[in-house]
A and B are shown apart, each in its own frame.
Chain A
């Protein structure tokens, strides 16, 4: 399952990130890597993008990109 299937306030552990290389590199550099705990903070009023939180800070990311962040069951 991806981070998009979490409800606001729920957490998960990242298993892998696929997708666009630029994006993956960016996320890795920010510390969004396998084993990192990540929380879905909230959704934008229009439904997209979302705010996720990991390693102590908030990041806004589009759902289409966030779909690629896969969580461990």
Chain B
């Protein structure tokens, strides 16, 4: 087995090269002790390629660098494949000088030769190879050019061991760069220094002080439209009806000769539960695709740049903004996107706060309640909930910043890459990986929960029940209900609906419709007042999200964080709803007065 270590700066096409060489023969694990992905793939049965994280140097303390360093020292590496951006050699070669110190043969893959051409940069490959004492292979990874050269070379084996280590023991970065500059002076000529790039032209608008935010909002609106109006939701609805109108009746029919509880377990428990989550899949996929496109194009870096100042107030950096925005759609991809944040603490804090961005599944409940209790101010009420979520997250961020997550601010340094046209194959692959991850890991816990909830809602101590009123779930609801009494909705129906909301937020409404069999607009006012209705909505906004989220949280951060987040959100929701219910009366009067006065001037 030949072990190849693939290294390079971020944004130079390393992933593209890795994918081109290993195709679908890839495995993702974890480097022990750190939350850094360990990516291994195979070019052939004999050649293993380890894709190390994108890094700029070997000695500046980050986890990614530590992991790479120890792998090169202990990991039985036969060859280093170092990919660099040929149009930006100056900075890229610093890592190369550091890699030389590991005394392994190095193949330098010079990527983006086409950009060199358009920038008027000409490189003498032979001279470069001699100067650096490495093998040089020019490629354009994005267009699949030169990849077979690399494959051929890797299969050939017989890598020259470089013994000339002394030349590369630089005592400081300054020396290293001096060497790099003189080496490049002799190998590289630039013919057109003033070519204005597309990136510069685009950024004039994208980062313009006045245009930047409207452009951003437009792109976000587009993303949400695609997800919830044009593609994602419609597909989701198709799946939903296929499930409920076709598949489930079919299965029921198949099982009609078995005992009723078994049939119910399969259909009402497992298929409904798991199926309900699968129905979410088109929405999650469309969101993922949009996010991947924005990331690959280079736009995300600019969003982080634009939002950093605001996010710092919350104890986060600009990079955390994107997961938050995604959270308004669905918390699951939002938590998964938080992975891209650099520090463990940033990732955790983001994952804790993201659920307060009101996800789309809660909207149906808001809408129905708002229509029943606040008919003429529906839009205002629903918007207020979204805003409240953001405010709560903000306040909690500030709180955490000064207590549990107190730390020195990590320096915020991010490269703003050139704009790039995203490759369809890359988008497809990344989306597929993310979706498979969600399905595989989150679904086991969902499966288990579905069975449990099914059992609790269909049985009591005497066996199977006819109506949910008599089930264990209802008993649990009655036991829990008093907890909600100070919030204004201390009845078992609300408690049970909220419990079912743990499965999926849409279930809250569905449960109420089942439990309160009848016209909700007539029945709800008998159980809620305006204030307790709003308090109820506030509770739904803030409390523990659905099990898909819990499952994702568990997969990304483990048990402790998951439990903490569940408990934490319940407490926040309770306190907020309490506050609203008990002080809401006075606040409502003030707002009512304000609106009345407003009307007077209309």
**Residues on A close to B: CB < 8 A?**
20, 22-23, 25-31, 33-36, 42, 44-49, 51, 55-62, 65
Contact = CB atoms under 8 A, between A and B. Distances in A.
B60 A65 contact: no
Contacts of B417: 57-58
Contacts of B203: 42
A46 B310 contact: yes
B59 A25 contact: yes
B575 interface: no
Given A56-B88, A62-B412, A44 B305 contact: yes
Given A33-B174, A46-B310, A47-B309, A55 B412 contact: no
B74 interface: no
A59 B94 CA distance: 16
B411 A48 contact: no
Q: In this complex, which of B90, B91, B208 has the most chain A Cβ atoms within 10 angstroms of its Cβ?
A: B91
B401 to A, nearest CB: 16
Given A29-B59, A34-B174, A44-B305, A56 B207 contact: no
Nearest to A61: B413
Contact of A60 (B172, B301, B410): B301
A57 B91 contact: yes
A58 B199 CA distance: 11
B60 A26 contact: yes
Interface of B: 56-57, 59-61, 87-88, 90-91, 94, 172-174, 177, 203, 207-210, 212-213, 301, 304-306, 308-310, 318, 408, 410-417
Nearest to A55: B90
A36 B468 CA distance: 73
Contact of A42 (B207, B213, B308): B207
B412 A49 contact: yes
Contacts, number: 108
B412 A46 contact: no
B207 A62 contact: no
A57 B56 CA distance: 13
A27 B212 CA distance: 28
Contact of B305 (A25, A56, A60): A60
B308 A62 contact: yes
A57 B309 contact: no
Contacts of A58: 415-417
Contacts of A62: 308, 411-412
B209 A25 contact: no
A29 B411 contact: no
Contacts of A33: 173-174, 177
6 contacts: A22-B60, A26-B56, A36-B177, A44-B308, A44-B309, A55-B90
Contacts of A55: 88, 90-91
Contacts of A26: 56-57, 60, 411, 413
B309 A48 contact: yes
A64 B203 CA distance: 23
